[in-house]
Structure 1
């Protein structure tokens, strides 16, 4: 029987969770075929290998490098992300995974918003697992920390805007937020829906789901 969820209260707790989620993702992706690496992810136009390269870039780019890259991209997130992704792609998918493994323990980030970087690996991890049929859910502790950050602020995703005027409740953890039409379901579905992945709304229930699905679009 699962014990009570212990909140991730410190930056060290959050970094430990990030490292755990990165390591788990690297393990899940070991042994993929070239065809599987080319599978379209749930993240727009990127395939599985490109998402992994993006995660490597995020774990390799500090504040100064991020600012310099954004200036060069004229503050176009898409241009910045594509350039850094290309920088961290390996010559083969195996090389791309090796580069990701090398940053599993990194604490480099573009800003001090540590819950956002936990959200980065949690959400993108699901972006590649679901199309590949890999069945692993991040820890409730990690998901709860990300959900609590997402509803407080629009940062890398418009999650606070998506949550506005809704009552969100996790069925498998302590997360609960807001007032209004109810949206209820697994923590992983709430987090990924708040990050704009409309398909996860299928796992949610309540009168507020239609509104959340509309906002994902």
Structure 2
């Protein structure tokens, strides 16, 4: 009897995409941890682009984000009376070390986790991409993530308001990346790197000067009011 190969079972596309997104998140966490090795005390205390948080506090927040699954997130939010800032501050304090070196070591331990409050994996990749730049830019660290890692984040941010108000920020504008395939929306044009567009949708005014086009003025007004 001739040997017959069993039919191949295709891997569901969602699983393939999700795996690629997590792999990108893991790579970006590891790259950020490497970038932060050797910082001195003043650098760890540098204000980040993320509100009132310092570099060290952003790293502790990233550790928390990689450590809190759906049930724990719900309990934490309920305990904070659904005040997201209070929830974030409590989880940050939980994962911050006694020293910056310990904070970094705790972050390194979670680089390969696939934990998140929901299945929106592009959002959790975005969490790493955005917060990494929140600390790299003030510190003058040159690395930027690959366009392939940032493009799905740009698409996710432009499509909905979730972890950041990306859809509201970009509403009525045409966004076009100069270094990759991302494009979304209709209206006055905003052009720039995929990363700059992502950071602008995440509310980071420091990246507006990296963009061009008639729609930038609208973005500047929206972010000033935010």
Q: Is the TM value for this pair above 0.5?
A: yes
Moved over 2 A (4+): none
Alignment correspondent of 1:88 = 95
Q: 1:110 aligns with which of 95, 111, 117?
A: 117
2-structure distance, mates of 1:214, 1:194: 13
Q: 2:135 aligns with which of 103, 118, 128?
A: 128
Q: Tell me, yes or no, if structure 1 residue 164 matches structure 2 residue 178.
A: no
Taking the TM superposition and a 5 Å limit, the aligned residue runs for 1:1-217 are: 10-217=17-224
2-structure distance, mates of 1:125, 1:214: 25
2-structure distance, mates of 1:11, 1:146: 12
Cα drift, residue 200 of structure 1: 0.4
Cα-Cα RMSD = 1.0
Cα drift, residue 215 of structure 1: 1.6
Cα drift, residue 212 of structure 1: 1.0
Change (3 A) 1:60 1:199: same
1-structure distance, mates of 2:164, 2:106: 25
2-structure distance, mates of 1:167, 1:44: 27
Change (3 A) 1:9 1:137: farther
Cα drift, residue 9 of structure 1: 6.2
Cα drift, residue 178 of structure 1: 1.0
1-structure distance, mates of 2:80, 2:220: 31
Q: Say if 1:194 and 1:216, in contact at 8 Å, map to a contact too.
A: no
2-structure distance, mates of 1:143, 1:14: 10
Note the residue ranges of structure 2 that are not aligned, 5 or more in a row: 1-14
How many pairs are equivalent? 210
TM-score (norm 1): 0.95
Note the residue ranges of structure 1 that are not aligned, 5 or more in a row: 1-7
Larger radius of gyration: 2
1-structure distance, mates of 2:185, 2:116: 30
2-structure distance, mates of 1:103, 1:39: 23
Q: Say if 1:37 and 1:93, in contact at 8 Å, map to a contact too.
A: yes
